[in-house]
């Protein structure tokens, strides 16, 4: 069965190994111990699974959240399939140099001096938004983490109040969308 790891879920009460769903309950992948669904507290009926897209649990087994670590997408079971959560931004205000994380929306305040926002290492579907919120002429410079590019360039300068760019990665470089 396509399970890589489960967090916050029940493990086999006999040997502590991962369990997989079978008809009427769950079965330990190691010792074969069977746990009937009726024995499970309702709070433990959701499992969070982590893995590559090919490890997404099969349709019909949707009492799960699934984190696709290759594409940074979280899915929830719908009962008949899987739907991805739309990610939301983590809004942070920065007045000095800052290394962004995937999902950050950075309100950059350069009123006391130019600042540099460094993008995270590229990963597929990574997204960062940077907006200059101050009225000074100090620049907000967005730089990649290494030698990768932003729309083919080595950096992106933002020098107008309320100018905003969204940076998205294909896993190799960054692009402004």
Q: Which residues bind Zn ion (CB under 5 A)?
A: 12, 14-15, 17, 28, 30-31, 33
Rounded distance, CA 53 to CA 73, Å?
A: 9
Cβ-based nearer residue to Zn ion, 13 or 53: 13
Q: Which residues pair with 105 in a beta bridge?
A: 91, 129
Which of 1/15 has CB closer to Zn ion? 15
As a whole number of angstroms, the distance between CA 99 and CA 121 comes to: 10
Minimum distance from CB of 52 to Zn ion (Å)? 25
How far apart are CB 11 and Zn ion at their closest, in Å? 8
- CA-wise closest residue to 108 among 140, 142, 156: 140
To the nearest whole angstrom, how small is the minimum distance from the Cβ of residue 30 to Zn ion? 5
Q: Where are the alpha helices (DSSP H) in 6-142?
A: none
For residues 74 and 66, give the distance between their C-alpha atoms in angstroms, rounded to a whole number. Answer: 6
Nearer to Zn ion, 16 or 87 (CB): 16
Question: Nearer Cβ to Zn ion, position 8 or 13?
Answer: 13
């Amino acid at each position: 069965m396509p399970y890589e790891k489960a967090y916050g879920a029940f493990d086999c009460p006999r040997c502590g190994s991962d369990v997989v769903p079978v008809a009427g309950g769950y079965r330990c992948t190691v010792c074969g111990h069977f746990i009937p669904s009726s024995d499970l507290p309702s709070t433990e009926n959701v499992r969070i699974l982590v893995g590559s897209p090919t490890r997404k649990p099969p349709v019909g087994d949707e009492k799960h959240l699934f984190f696709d670590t290759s594409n940074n997408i979280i899915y929830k079971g719908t009962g008949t399939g899987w739907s991805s959560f739309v990610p939301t931004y983590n809004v942070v205000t920065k007045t000095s140099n800052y290394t962004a994380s995937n999902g950050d929306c950075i309100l950059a305040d350069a009123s006391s001096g130019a600042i540099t926002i460094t993008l995270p290492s590229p990963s597929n579907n990574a997204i960062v938004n940077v907006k200059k919120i101050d009225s000074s002429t100090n620049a907000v410079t967005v730089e990649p983490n290494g030698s990768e590019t932003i729309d083919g360039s080595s950096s992106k300068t933002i020098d107008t109040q309320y100018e905003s760019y969204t940076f998205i990665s294909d896993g190799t470089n960054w692009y402004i969308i």
